[in-house]
Amino acid sequence: MSLPLEELLKLEPEEIVAHNERPKADDLRNKQQIYYEDVEEGLELPKYVYNPTPTHLFRWSAAIENFHRIHYDLDFGLNHDKNPSILVHGSWKQSVVPQFLKDWTLPKGWPWKAQFEHRAMLVPGDVLIMWGKVTSKYEKNQMGFVELEIGMKTQDGIESMPGTATVVLPLRNGPDIPYPFVPPED
């Protein structure tokens, strides 16, 4: 059952992890479209919960060939850079945003744009919650535009990545969103 973000943050970290709403691959393959008309201001998107480990961070470093030792060498991070631990990559956090938006708009919607800031150091052991909330919506050129507030909070409620996003959803009786998406002119 989906909990509002503020209620989720009242739980212990292991309880937060149990409320992960990130869909499995089969869920995405069989996902029913969310239409513009289904969305209201204040609607919270499903919360994606992550619990990165040192192994995850090492693998991400190798995959993207980022060999800065603060992401996988604890001794270096603690003693050289005086960090609290090894650090979660900003690029990993950035990779979560398009996945989060794409999953919500599938199969016929389109994540259009997102912007966010990195505001906090995240370390293994942090439970991270990717969240989104509808702030406004409007129709243009027979497409539904939905404005979102997005972010990634820690189990302690620290906002590590505040931002905004715009997604495009089809109207229930409207045309398909063009692929590739070309935004309408103002």
Q: What is the mean pLDDT of residues 145-158?
A: 98
* Same domain flag for 64 and 155: no
Instruction: Give residue 175's pLDDT.
Output: 95
Cβ pair 116, 159 in contact under 8 A:
no
Q: Both 27 and 67 in a single domain?
A: no
pTM of the full predicted structure? Answer: 0.94
> Does 81 share its domain with 102?
no
Residues 6+ away with beta carbon under 8 Å from 108: 33, 170, 176, 177
Average pLDDT estimate for 17-46: 97
CATH value at residue 120: 3.10.129.10
Which range (135-139, 173-177, 182-186) has the least confidence? 182-186
**Residue 178 counted as domain residue:** no
CB-CB neighbours of 108 under 10 Å: 14
Cβ contact 165:113 at 8 Å: yes
Please tell me the distance from the alpha carbon of residue 73 to that of residue 64, in angstroms, as a whole number.
Answer: 16
- Looking at residue 185, what is its pLDDT? 83
pLDDT of residue 1: 61
